[in-house]
Amino acid sequence: MKILHTSDLHIGHSVSGIDRGEEYERFFEWFEGVANEKKPDCVIVAGDVFDVYFPSNEAIRQYYDFLLSLKNKTKKVIIIGGNHDSFKTLKAPKEILKYLDVVVVSGSEDDFCEFVEFDDFVVVAVSYLREGILKKYDDDIEKAIFKLYQEKLKEAKEKFSGKKVVTTAHFSVSGASLGDSERDIYVGNLEFVSKDVFEGYDYVALGHIHKPQKITENIIYSGSPLALSFKETYQKNIVFIEDDNIEFINVPKFREFASIKGSFKEVYEKISEMKDAFLEIVLDEIVDSEKLKLLKNGENHIVKITLPYVKEIKNFEVKKVTPEDIIKEIFNEKEIIEAFYEIKKEVEDEFGKVED
């Protein structure tokens, strides 16, 4: 049994409008190389293939190119729908993708589970579970999830006697450490699902949580392969399973996410050493517009700049306050007040007098 497990690709993801298509291309190329080396029986993508319900044409093209790149690198690719995915988008090419040895379980009420057989194991591929699916099993959501997974396990053991049984899931399992940027999801009215629903399975390929981790020795989140926020600073992985051996494979960083704090000089020196990174900057001093332009004119992508918190304004009657009053109340530094007047003059020169 050889499985390459990933999840939460979020193809089409952008950062403050900045496209990440090139990163995805590089990741898919790297992933193809790993698949070629490991020669898995199957690749499992455990949900959230796309970042949004209605992905762009470019995101869909990258998805198809990724699947095509795995042709002849593995016997099957198993795709399950996640909470970010539209089951209609995934389901539309389902029959055509079979010719590429791709099995899609979209997550619709008539397409939420499929058995995929291999020489010595079978995958019970289960998508993200919407409430309408679970109500077929029990009105109590927790009981419904347990019944679904245990009934499918029993069916798999009867149909494929003697083979190991693997399953998939896309939700939060109790005891998991969140990765920060996951969208809160509930399976019915449950935020977390007990690991007990997987009792009897030989391996569980989880998706939804972006931080790679073991819930038990055989219940595992691969995590998202690319960082999706500045708080996802931990090492990204995909998971390779060979019989009872489990290997977390480090994914290279194709673009850095970095939070930089300090004075203008400290920040400017640090970012000048970094190329093509997503940056979140926290300055500990007020700077003028020219310095802000210098920060933004580099080769990096500055997503956010935070300036120091200013003190609360007190004892003003709003109707009598002018812009000059506010600036003088907040700042005592002469150069900052002079900078305000300089900016005001530039605005008035271009757009006319600024009325108080």
pLDDT of residue 92: 96
Q: Which two three-digit tokens encode residue 132?
A: 């309408």
pLDDT of residue 188: 62
Q: What is the DSSP string of 19-36?
A: E-HHHHHHHHHHHHHHHH
pLDDT of residue 224: 97
Q: What is the DSSP string of 276-316?
A: S-EEEEEESS---HHHHHHHHTSSSEEEEEEPPPPPPP-S-
Q: How crowded is residue 89: how many other Cβ atoms within 10 Å of its Cβ?
A: 19
pLDDT of residue 292: 83
pLDDT of residue 316: 44
Q: What is the DSSP string of 121-147?
A: EEEEEE----HHHHTTT-SSHHHHHHH
Q: How far is CA 299 from the centre of its chain?
A: 24
Q: Environment class of residue 125 by beta-carbon count within 10 Å: exposed (0-12), middle (13-18) or buried (19+)?
A: buried
Phi, psi of 178 (to 5 degrees): -70, 155
C-alpha 165/C-alpha 157 separation (Å) is 8
pLDDT of residue 343: 74
- Residues linked to residue 24 through DSSP beta bridges, in sequence order: none
Nearest CA among 194, 189, 105, 190 for reference residue 146: 194
* pTM flag (> 0.95): no
| pLDDT block averages, 10 residues each, the chain of length 356 | 98 91 97 98 97 95 98 97 95 96 97 97 97 93 96 98 97 86 66 95 97 97 94 94 96 91 90 84 86 77 79 49 64 65 69 56
